[in-house]
Structure 1
Amino acid sequence: MSLKLLVTQAEIIGAALKAVRQGLDAWLVTIVEITGSLPRPLGSMMVYSEMATLGSVSGGCVEECLIERLQLGEFPAGTARLTKYGVDADDNERYGLPCGGKLTLLVEALGARDEPWLQELHATLVARHFVERAIKLEPYHCSLNTTSMSNSPAVAWQQTCGVHRLGPEHRLVLIGAGQLAETLSALALQMEYQIIVLDPRQDKVDEWRGPDVSVQVLRGIDQLAGYADSHTSLITLTHDRDIDDNALFAAADMPYTFIGALGSRRTSANRSSRLRARGLSEEALARIHAPVGIDIGSKTPMEIAVSILAQLTQLKRGAMSQSAHSCLSVA
């Protein structure tokens, strides 16, 4: 059974819900403690059942070992238990963990009684809202509470109980289905962004050769409005003046957390003049980062993609304004 790594929290919980509804054994695995450097961050999840294996807690051999233990019945239905990996040098070598890296996993053996909270959690994540799970081990119990966005750790764990905070992953809406969008999508997926590519040109959509992401014909501003929220960035990439101008003019007044536009400084200045002539306010114009990306002298599609993701990473890690940091941080 193949392991699909780059999936959303909603997809993982949805897979668990589907398995439980069909009466199948299912296990939800979450990283609740980390020591040292590890491939997956705190709060990462994986679900395993006969139907599907989604997500990752290490990106390697830990999953294989854990699935063997699940199949052998080490974690019986209706229980939640902790298990550790990387406790010694042999563990690090066996599971491919960085030297000194240790992780504690919470393994929840799900059943029919868990369907109500799984259903509520799935609906909340699909709606891109923040939520926290309060989990108790003995006896196993999980409850949900709504929460506002914060920079708190994804998991706060204390021996036999803890809180797991979940929320919307950051999205990238890319205007233009060309080579740069293909390259940027491939890199952004590895950084766990959700990708939506929009292009009004049907031929460009049909010619897409990039990774398996959502690629759609852009038919109107309603599509742009439908994706606009405080956890989504929009970047125009087409080099087509009309397409980029129209998208930026519409999006500048929408609640995207970041708006960027490809182009040289001269191109960006000319674009600003055109948008200003169309009636876009100075406040809205100031929201458009152009030229998009950190100035590293990039020329090739890969270099430009790196510069764009570097700028978004800089924002996520708080190197710029605290308000932008709050918007781009995950739960």
Structure 2
Amino acid sequence: MKTIDQLVLAAALEFLQRAETGYLCTVVQTFGASPRPLGSMMAMDCHGKVHGSLSGGCIEDELLAKLHDGELAISGPELLEYGVSPEENERFGLPCGGRMHILIEPLQTVKHCKLVAGLCAALDARRPIRRHVDMRSGAWRLESIANCQPLVIDERSLRQDFGPRFQLLLIGANELARCIAEIALAMDYRVLVCDPRKDRREQWAVAGAELLANMPDEAVCEYGDTFTAVVTLTHDPRIDDMALMQALTQSLFYVGALGSQRTSDKRRVRLKELDISDQQLQQLHAPVGLPIGSKSAMEIALAIMAELTQLRAGKRRADNEVPAN
């Protein structure tokens, strides 16, 4: 399943490859409450076909009307403001006091096709990438990056980062994995469930989660990256340890293992005997999840997803402290 950014950019690439013009519309500033987060995008081709969303629909309708009336800029970027009055808030479905700045960029095959294709390729390959836009000329420049930072815009330029979708690799197709998968899918994670046991795979029935028959270490090696969390859930050391031995040698976002404190202590001793270093063991979250007193499968799933949410928020804060290039 692709992210909304991937779908919007793929739609833009499609009409550019047909040698048609169109527009890329991006929420670049918000004030107060906003129906869509900063960086939300919409692609609109010259016929008025829309992909993505900027609001509940009213701003999209307004832009379509401007397109049909020939009121959208065609020579360079244009910044439009919505929600400057209570009447506009009501008209466009914005929350009370909310305002949005929307950047409208005309797209042309000669200038933008290869650049949009570059964004699509980076996201498909799970590589973070940044686009710089000259606010005067509309020229783009793409840059490979290690970490994503929030969108920044001023009178001269726009800087917008695109990162891959976070993914969660669960080792073990059991009831707890089902609970975790349902929450994670609702939170827009890509969910992969690996279990080498055929009978367990045959019982799996969560739509949207990708089921893998790989050996656990092979699945971690193939799918793991810095945007991947791996959680082992089988209680079988022959399966869980195989995944952990691989996961702890890679640069992953998170590595967790289900089990009590006593079980976790035994697991650490066992992993050290298998040549996992103390430094690598420091990456292991075990017992997995926040200590909220969870007992049932859904409560444990909630604790695990809460810990991932907490760590992602901390990562965003740390990334935001990195000076801009």
For the superposition of Structure 1 and Structure 2, which TM-score range results when normalised by the shorter chain?
A: 0.7 to 0.9
Is residue 226 from structure 1 mapped to residue 189 from structure 2 by the alignment? no
Which of 154, 163, 166 is equivalent to 1:167? 163
Aligned runs of 1:171-250 on 2, under 5 Å? 171-219=167-215, 221-250=217-246
Aligned runs of 1:252-267 on 2, under 5 Å? 252-267=248-263
Which of 302, 306, 310 is equivalent to 1:306? 302
Residue by residue, what CA displacement relative to the aligned partner does 1:12-45 show, whole Å, maximum 9, x if unpaired? 3233212321234543222110112335332222
Q: Tell me, what secondary structure is at the counterpart of 2:126?
A: coil
More relative contact order, 1 or 2 (CA 8 Å, 6+ apart): 1
Contact 2:256 2:286 (8 Å CA) reproduced:
yes
Contact 1:78 1:111 (8 Å CA) reproduced:
no
Contact 2:216 2:243 (8 Å CA) reproduced:
no
Q: Tell me, what secondary structure is at the counterpart of 1:267?
A: helix
Contact 1:172 1:196 (8 Å CA) reproduced:
yes
Contact 2:234 2:240 (8 Å CA) reproduced:
yes
Residue by residue, what CA displacement relative to the aligned partner does 1:251-288 show, whole Å, maximum 9, x if unpaired? 11111121011222233223223323333333222221
Partner of residue 133, structure 1: 131
Residue by residue, what CA displacement relative to the aligned partner does 1:176-227 show, whole Å, maximum 9, x if unpaired? 2333333323322343333332222334334433242433222353331222
Distance of 1:63 and 1:217 partners within structure 2: 46
Instruction: Tell me the CA shift for residue 115 of structure 1.
Output: 0.6
Residue by residue, what CA displacement relative to the aligned partner does 1:119-148 show, whole Å, maximum 9, x if unpaired? 222222333333322223444332223344
Instruction: Tell me the CA shift for residue 105 of structure 1.
Output: 1.6
Partner of residue 281, structure 1: 277
Contact 1:196 1:213 (8 Å CA) reproduced:
yes
Instruction: Tell me the CA shift for residue 95 of structure 1.
Output: 4.3
Contact 1:315 1:325 (8 Å CA) reproduced:
no
Residue by residue, what CA displacement relative to the aligned partner does 1:40-89 show, whole Å, maximum 9, x if unpaired? 3322223345798554434x335653564376355365653223333333
Is residue 23 from structure 1 mapped to residue 25 from structure 2 by the alignment? no
Structure 1 pair 56/123, CA: closer, same or farther in 2 (3 Å)?
same
Q: Tell me, what secondary structure is at the counterpart of 1:218?
A: coil
CA RMSD between the two structures? 3.3
Unaligned regions of 5+ residues in structure 2, if any?
A: none
Q: Tell me, what secondary structure is at the counterpart of 2:103?
A: strand
Residue by residue, what CA displacement relative to the aligned partner does 1:83-133 show, whole Å, maximum 9, x if unpaired? 333333344344443332222122223231211111222222333333322
Contact 2:191 2:208 (8 Å CA) reproduced:
no
Partner of residue 105, structure 1: 102
Q: TM-score, normalised by structure 1?
A: 0.81
- Identity score, percent: 35
Is residue 115 from structure 1 mapped to residue 142 from structure 2 by the alignment? no
Distance of 1:26 and 1:176 partners within structure 2: 46
Q: Tell me, what secondary structure is at the counterpart of 1:317?
A: helix
Distance of 1:133 and 1:279 partners within structure 2: 42
Q: TM-score, normalised by structure 2?
A: 0.82
Is residue 83 from structure 1 mapped to residue 80 from structure 2 by the alignment? yes
Structure 1 pair 104/300, CA: closer, same or farther in 2 (3 Å)?
farther
Distance of 2:210 and 2:304 partners within structure 1: 20
Which of 2, 7, 10 is equivalent to 2:3? 7
Instruction: Tell me the CA shift for residue 293 of structure 1.
Output: 0.9
Unaligned regions of 5+ residues in structure 1, if any?
A: none
Distance of 2:40 and 2:219 partners within structure 1: 30
Distance of 1:70 and 1:203 partners within structure 2: 57
Contact 2:135 2:158 (8 Å CA) reproduced:
no
Which of 89, 93, 96 is equivalent to 1:92? 89
Contact 1:124 1:131 (8 Å CA) reproduced:
yes
Please say which structure displays the higher CA radius of gyration. Answer: 2
Which of 131, 140, 149 is equivalent to 2:147? 149
Q: Tell me, what secondary structure is at the counterpart of 1:184?
A: helix
> Partner letter of residue 82 of structure 2?
Y
